Structure 1
Amino acid sequence: MYLSTTLIFLVTVLDILVYYLQKLQEQDNGEQKISASSSSLDIRSMHEEDDGERKDPSLSSSSLYKQCQVFSLAEIKLATNDFDDAFVIGKGGFGQVYKGQIDFEARTDVAIKRLDCNSNQGETEFRAEIEMLSKIRHSHIVSLLGYCETDMILVYEYMPNGSLEDHLHKKRTNGSTSSPLTWVQRLNICIGAARGLDYLHTGTGIQHRVIHRDVKSSNILLDENWAGKIADFGLSRTTPASHAGSTTNVYTGQIVSTFGYMDAEYFATHRLTRKSDVYAFGVVLLEVLCGRPALDFTLDEEQHSLAGWGKHCIKRGNISRIVDPCLRGQVSVKCLKKFGQIAYECLRSCSKERPTMTVVLARLELVLTWTMQSAQRASNWKNIACSLFLTKTPRRVISDQKKDGCDSGGVATASQQAVLHYEGTTTLNLKDFTYSELQTVTCNFHHRRVIGEGGFGKVFKGWLDRVTYTPQKAGDGIPVAIKKLSPESMQGLLELQSLALTYFVETTY
């Protein structure tokens, strides 16, 4: 009896084992069929991040890769002349970047980034870039056109004007002291980059948001129209969109960022938020304003960090101390203060006190509006400021014992003007003076003709014919005062406009 019971138990266990083995075999066969029917171009789903956390599953579908073209290694070699060094246009943490041509419908310039075997980055960053940019399409984010998995190569749209860093800092190594970027160009580049970041933070979909995690001037590229675009998503992270506002937290086991742009709060807590990108963007704003890199150890110790030095100067109202000399005369005081305030708020120590990229974008667009309005007003008043000439009955003619010879040549600009001394009944006549005429009147702006100096610049005395207003010798004709804008002056066309209005009002009463 005991023996038979034991045999029955063993047979039952054996049957159960056979059943489960058959089920497992069926599952294996099914998976092999699915695998065989799937495209050989599909690559594996979302990778594990450095902290072991997996990104948003909505981004892991292999269908994302089908939005990018898959290139063979032979095609890439053909485009770069077998990775000829002559085709290299840059190098980053991932590897060298080559300029090449790919035959889509027509020969198209592209940027080809190839993983360096000695790079600290690798397959993780390669797949992160593909997974992120396969889903994202935005006018201020560099587009990924395709990839080659064989040699871990990424193919992007070509950005002919390089990076923002190139134009702000590499000029120093070439011995040049000026940047080709004007204030308006710099503003537009910042606005473009801000639009790209704002899209990543708020507009990438209903299921996820993106934290770039490596915002810096070298990752802001410039297209043929000098528009700024965000690039390099190898370190980016996604966060669930269900987390309201900008306080979404991602805890990372490894701190990854670039020194000089790193959010101290993220470094201390490992808590990554979208405000970490805002901090880094604040450093970029200071780079744009100051024309110096985020870290510069050739300067005094207190100036090594641009973020720390910039905040110090802005807080104490000394923002003019850090402005790039190349921008002198291009930025109004109002715009300068507002721009500095935006950068300062982005760099606040507490992430909750920093603005969102939506707010930063709106404020930058306001600064651009003010800048364009100032330029328009200056343009409207330029002719009046240049040709301001008020004729009056002279109060007295002041003789001058000095009668010097004078030079001529050139055309008058808005920084020179002639105003008559007057009293009595007024008639308003405006004359457009050439620079040559003003040189003659002032003996080429000779120091002996200086009768005053203010914040605008020096004031020179001269004489003009009573009828023709042509230059005369000292003591002959009508005495005039000519004010010339000093290159070092913080004033400019707006002050000329104000002066013109003042004289006009005085002569109408």
Structure 2
Amino acid sequence: METDQQPEPPEEAETMPNREQIQLGDLSRSVTIEITIKNDLHDGRLIELNNKMVQQLKRMAVDKLEGGFGIVYISKQKVPGFNIPVVLKEIDLRHQIGIQSQTQKLGSVTNEKIASRMMHFGIVPLLAYHDDHANKKYYLVSPYLENGDLFQAIATDKGLSKDAMKLRWEIRTKIMYQIACAIDFMHTGNKLRGTVLHLDIKSKNIVLDAMFNARLIDFGIARELKEGDVNITVTTTNVGTLGYFSADQHYVLTKHHDYHNFGVGKYLVCIT
């Protein structure tokens, strides 16, 4: 029997839990990608990206900085899906000469992922990654912090008048306290990980958010001690940054190397 009622459209298939549609792109080109994302991006679980997503993040970047390891792409607007501005770090091994150099740089990619397991207010979390083994390129995604690194903040602050100073003493004290808390957290192992030595604590590896809260970045040469160990033996003495790291030749690394670097950094914060 005929009726005026229209048949109801079939219900859409129930989507998998925690799935979102992420739109990454610009006005000229966009790609919609379906990916599983936890509600809290900062729970320590890395999101694995694909090549299309990486290319879209590159197109969204407004700043591009080149370094010895590769290129850093900075998106200063909120990226859909992540809902925060992000930094995409590209590590290109094609320009590394020799197998040993490539192996060391690839090891630094693994070391960077250590940070994703350390959820602390004084450490910038790693959000996502993509390993492009075929092209020897590796990508790491982390939050973008508005006020840049401490080195540049100090340099800019020195050129300001006394009345217009950004880095007031209470801010400098807060920066030193927050980084000290981050170091203490790294050095205190737990049932999930051992003690982590950063080994390159310096003003360029400390970044500041809009409220001048300080966080550590760059765990490329970090080392995790085995359970019960208080030191780690290395085969090279080329560790850390000249001017921060002790001039002595060290093959056995301990927590005191981070303390030394932090002491140098604290001195620079106090006198500049």
- TM > 0.5 fold call: yes
Q: Deviations over 1:294-345 (max 9, x none)?
A: xxxxxxxxxxxxxxxxxxxxxxxxxxxxxxxxxxxxxxxxxxxxxxxxxxxx
**How far has the Cα of 1:111 moved from its partner?**
1.1
Which residue matches 1:278? 259
Which residue matches 2:80? 103
Match of 2:242 among 231, 246, 259: 259
Q: Write the distance in 2 (CA, Å) between the matches of 1:91 and 1:185.
A: 30
Match of 1:128 among 111, 131, 136: 111
Which residue matches 2:8? none
Note the residue ranges of structure 1 that are not aligned, 5 or more in a row.
Answer: 1-65, 292-509
Where 1:141 maps in the other structure, the secondary structure is: coil
Which residue matches 1:67? 45
- 1:99 counterpart letter in structure 2: I
Kindly indicate whether the alpha-carbon contact (under 8 Å) linking 2:157 and 2:166 is maintained by their aligned counterparts in 1.
no
Where 1:152 maps in the other structure, the secondary structure is: strand
Alignment of structure 1 residues 371-382 onto 2, 5 Å: none
Q: Write the distance in 2 (CA, Å) between the matches of 1:227 and 1:268.
A: 34
Which residue matches 1:225? 211
**How far has the Cα of 1:268 moved from its partner?**
2.1
Which residue matches 2:271? 290
Residues matched between the structures, number:
213
Work out whether 1:210 is the aligned partner of 2:223. no
Q: Write the distance in 2 (CA, Å) between the matches of 1:107 and 1:113.
A: 18
Where 1:113 maps in the other structure, the secondary structure is: strand
**How far has the Cα of 1:102 moved from its partner?**
3.5
Q: Deviations over 1:457-508 (max 9, x none)?
A: xxxxxxxxxxxxxxxxxxxxxxxxxxxxxxxxxxxxxxxxxxxxxxxxxxxx
**How far has the Cα of 1:230 moved from its partner?**
1.1
Distance 1:205 1:287, change over 3 A: farther
Structure with greater proportional strand content? 2
Q: Which has the higher contact order (CA 8 A, sep 6+)?
A: 2
Distance 1:69 1:284, change over 3 A: same
Q: Write the distance in 1 (CA, Å) between the matches of 2:263 and 2:68.
A: 22
Match of 2:138 among 138, 148, 152: 152
**How far has the Cα of 1:180 moved from its partner?**
1.8
Which residue matches 1:13? none
Structure whose alpha-carbon radius of gyration is higher: 1
Distance 1:237 1:279, change over 3 A: same
Distance 1:206 1:154, change over 3 A: closer
Which residue matches 1:268? 249
- 1:281 counterpart letter in structure 2: F
Q: Write the distance in 2 (CA, Å) between the matches of 1:283 and 1:91.
A: 27
- 1:113 counterpart letter in structure 2: K
Which residue matches 1:94? 69
Alignment of structure 1 residues 175-194 onto 2, 5 Å: 176=160, 179-194=165-180
Work out whether 1:143 is the aligned partner of 2:125. yes
Which residue matches 1:402? none
- 1:229 counterpart letter in structure 2: R
Which residue matches 1:166? 152
Match of 1:113 among 71, 84, 89: 89
Structure with greater proportional helix content? 1
Q: Write the distance in 2 (CA, Å) between the matches of 1:213 and 1:95.
A: 21
Q: Write the distance in 2 (CA, Å) between the matches of 1:234 and 1:197.
A: 16
Give the TM-score normalised by structure 2: 0.71
Kindly indicate whether the alpha-carbon contact (under 8 Å) linking 2:201 and 2:262 is maintained by their aligned counterparts in 1.
yes
Note the residue ranges of structure 2 that are not aligned, 5 or more in a row.
Answer: 1-43
Where 2:181 maps in the other structure, the secondary structure is: helix
Distance 1:241 1:225, change over 3 A: farther
Q: Write the distance in 2 (CA, Å) between the matches of 1:198 and 1:87.
A: 33
**How far has the Cα of 1:176 moved from its partner?**
4.8
Give the TM-score normalised by structure 1: 0.39
**How far has the Cα of 1:77 moved from its partner?**
1.8
Q: Write the distance in 2 (CA, Å) between the matches of 1:251 and 1:279.
A: 18
Q: Write the distance in 2 (CA, Å) between the matches of 1:177 and 1:107.
A: 36
